[in-house]
A and B are shown apart, each in its own frame.
Chain A
């Protein structure tokens, strides 16, 4: 029986010839990661084991990105705990503010995640690395503690939902629109416990940045992971960065899929997700008149250089609407520098936007852009749950960076073609 991409990677990491959906396996992890919200609990659990060493000092990554730069005393205490743990156990990949970035953009950019990997992270958006044809999934702090100790994780082999992409996306349609469209079609539990595996010629029109965005939001459909096949774009991305030798995995022609859906990329227009679930999607043309107070461009979903370029192309030479605050968050220091070199930062600041150091901050209502009661934001982030960006009486709409930038100028939700 042939195997899907996910089954193949899981089998290799469990030391097995084959695995089948529903089986419970213990698998070796190539990298385990945590952030300033999840690591403190993991560290406490790890310490309770009384172990003098982690399984591999080079295969753990600790990234203080959620409330860092520290927003208050409690956050500072959490990050201090991480920093001291990293020092005590000689963990090489601890990223301090100033060298830090949003974990799911930073780690693949640094070449710490490579194709064929099995990665677990105590953060739900760990599924992002599926763009590299790796298996990656979010787990909890106790799972992270166990992995830091043993280098292993227990997993149930998921069924796979195959998503066949065809056609070329129209102008202003980006990876974000494709994944929002899919979530709108299948719902926030439409891929519950499953792997989402992409296939089809349409993939050749998707940049790596867009693939990261799409794999990133697999969790928003309830999926265990999202995964793309390895191709020329994957190779070009990985070869300049990979810190380890990697293995190319391909799905077998006779692999068994639990379900299959098709998406014609050429038929899509930009998509906006309405409060309070990512599945509440509408094509941009059907959004209607929705005034906004804040625009956020950034996050592990859309904080890459391509995303900033897209937003800057729209905002350049224009002004942020009087009633709107626009906040830009490059996801890493490298992207920050690149945005500076390319003049993107200047385009944003000249337009009247704030340009921040990397942080997850506003995406989860942590800091750096909290909404008041009754306020409304359009954001390139990944969730629009009740209270996600601040007051439970505030609202978040999700979109791609170009639509977010156009909305900042218009003062209401709208697209670049309206400018």
Chain B
């Protein structure tokens, strides 16, 4: 398996709804994530994840009710807690709107698995506690509706429908520091106190 860019971290309970500004310590030892795959293609942009016409609010539940609607109007009503979004390269390209990971997270999605992520989406997912990871080899072999199980701690993904298992690289040390501090804001606060 080959990786491009950083390998993102998890660190928050999936499907907890709401916009978490912090990675919570107690959630670091999270149980394996399980759900079915919602499969999309390359270059899924932030305008289809959450169209700009809904950006006059930052309410997570309201954003979730419009998540993905311009490419899949069944997603918001049919997605089940724990499900995964699986996509190709450059997921989350376009705008810097943090509403995109917020909408996905509030819709109950446990993690986004893609071949690669656009860089601002990557930051935003990490900073808001939406687990995302790059697994290009696995993505190619996952079909819509496949049952998946992901262990973020061990760095493994199991496609239960197809009976195949994949590994992905654990998070880099700097990211682990952020997670250990309880998220970006706490990390910065602690650093200020120390200096």
Contacts and interface: CB of A to CB of B under 8 A. Distances in A.
A37 B63 CA distance: 13
A210 B16 CA distance: 46
A222 B124 contact: no
Contact of B21 (A48, A71, A123): A48
Interface residues on A, range: 35 or more
Contacts of A138: 96, 120
Interface residues on B, range: 35 or more
Nearest to A388: B47
A327 B53 CA distance: 19
Given A124-B96, A385-B94, A387-B51, A142 B185 contact: yes
Interface in A142-192: 142-143, 145-146, 149-150, 152, 154, 156, 188-189, 192
A40 B58 contact: yes
B110 interface: no
B144 interface: no
A139 interface: yes
Contact of B52 (A24, A277, A364): A364
Interface string B76-115: 0000000000000110011111110010000000000000
A365 interface: yes
B25 to A, nearest CB: 16
A189 B118 contact: yes
Contacts of B174: 24, 154
B96 A122 contact: yes
A126 B120 CA distance: 11
A139 B101 CA distance: 13
A365 B124 CA distance: 22
Contacts of B185: 45, 48-49, 142, 145-146, 149
B20 to A, nearest CB: 10
A71 B56 contact: yes
B188 A150 contact: yes
Contact of B124 (A24, A142, A366): A142
Nearest to A383: B94
B116 A140 contact: no
Contacts, number: 146
A189 B89 contact: yes
Contacts of B120: 124, 138-140, 219
Interface stretch (A1-9, A72-80, A246-254): A72-80
B47 A139 contact: no
B1 interface: no
A18 interface: no
B80 to A, nearest CB: 24
B43 A124 contact: no
B115 to A, nearest CB: 10
Given A124-B94, A192-B4, A386 B70 contact: yes
B127 interface: yes
A140 B96 contact: yes
A150 B192 contact: yes
B36 interface: no
A304 interface: no
Nearest to B89: A189
B2 interface: no
Contacts of A149: 185, 188-189, 192
A222 B118 contact: yes
A122 B166 CA distance: 35
B52 A365 contact: yes
13 contacts: A45-B21, A78-B57, A138-B120, A140-B124, A149-B185, A192-B90, A192-B118, A193-B4, A193-B5, A222-B119, A364-B55, A386-B70, A387-B47
Interface of B: 4-6, 19, 21, 43, 45, 47-48, 51-53, 55-58, 70-71, 89-90, 93-99, 102, 116, 118-120, 123-124, 127-128, 172, 174, 178, 184-185, 188-189, 191-192
8 closest cross-chain pairs (CB), A and B: A140-B124, A74-B56, A142-B127, A189-B90, A364-B52, A124-B96, A140-B98, A392-B70
